Structure 1
Amino acid sequence: MTFETAISRDIVSAESPDRPIRRMLRRIRVWLEQHPRLRHAYRVAVGTLGTVIALLGLVLVPLPGPGWLIVFLGLAILGTEFRWARRLSGWLKRMLSRFWAWQKSRRAARA
């Protein structure tokens, strides 16, 4: 099994709608739809938290450590409420997968 196939399979299984966290988030969303004021506050809180975490991850990217992981975590948080963040997260996952495949082929060509 290739590296790209394994990543694609893991991404698909993690984004399955029957995962416990996704079920919990759906229940919260249904409850929030019944309380419009809380829904607005929730969106503001999710937007703020996700943005802070994603920006922190971007600051950490050049340093050794989990910079990209933190960026994806921030985008995942934003993606629970904002469609643009879900699309951006998917695009970044594809670009990062392509980069790793390119890097792997480059190393193999050098060896």
Structure 2
Amino acid sequence: MSTSVRRHLTRSRAWIHRHPRIRAPYRVLVAVAGIVVIAVGLILVPLPGPGWLIVFIGVAGLGTEFPAAHRLTRVVRRQAHRVRVWWRARRDRSTARAGASTTA
């Protein structure tokens, strides 16, 4: 995300939080949108495609306003990073083995 977009979103969120009459409906809107995205993702889980990714995007959306969802997003991101590191190491090992067997 570009710096100018992030700066604009930060200013917008600060403005919303300074106005209590807008803050409550905004939080309700974020909650409804996040739950809808999660529900769509859960419906798509058994089908081929990015079902779990959509679920995690919904939780990340909820995490913008709700601390528990933000904590869950951090845990999922940490686990995804560990899996990505493991997968790359596994791929590199198999590539090295394949390269060694073709030269021998």
TM over 0.5, shorter chain:
yes
Question: Could you list the runs of 5+ residues in structure 1 that have no partner in the other structure?
Answer: 1-13
Q: Bigger relative contact order, structure 1 or 2, given CA contacts below 8 A and separation 6+?
A: 1
Give the superposition deviation at 1:26.
Answer: 1.2
Alpha-carbon deviation of 1:44?
A: 0.5
Q: Distance in 2 between matches of 1:33 and 1:58?
A: 31
1:70–1:87 Cα change, 3 Å: same
- Aligned-pair CA distance for 1:97: 4.3
Tell me which protein shows more helix as a share of its residues: 2
* Cα RMSD, aligned residues only: 2.7
1:18-55 Cα distance to aligned partner (Å, 9 max, x none): 73333222111221123211111000000110111012
1-side partners of 2:8 and 2:52: how far apart?
A: 26
Distance in 1 between residues matched to 2:67 and 2:22, nearest whole Å: 20
**2: distance between equivalents of 1:41 and 1:31?**
14
In 2, Cα distance between equivalents of 1:55 and 1:88:
17
Query: Normalising by the residue count of structure 1, what TM-score does the alignment of the two structures yield?
Result: 0.65
Check if 1:20 corresponds to 2:4: yes
Specify the SS of the correspondent of 2:49: coil
Q: How many residues matched?
A: 93
Percent identity (aligned): 50
Larger radius of gyration: 2
Give the TM-score normalised by the residue count of structure 2.
0.69
State the 4+ residue runs in structure 1 displaced beyond 2 angstroms: 18-22, 93-102
Q: How many angstroms apart in 1 are the aligned matches of 2:4 and 2:55?
A: 23
Match of 2:16 in 1: 32
Q: Report the residue type matching 1:20 in the other structure.
A: S
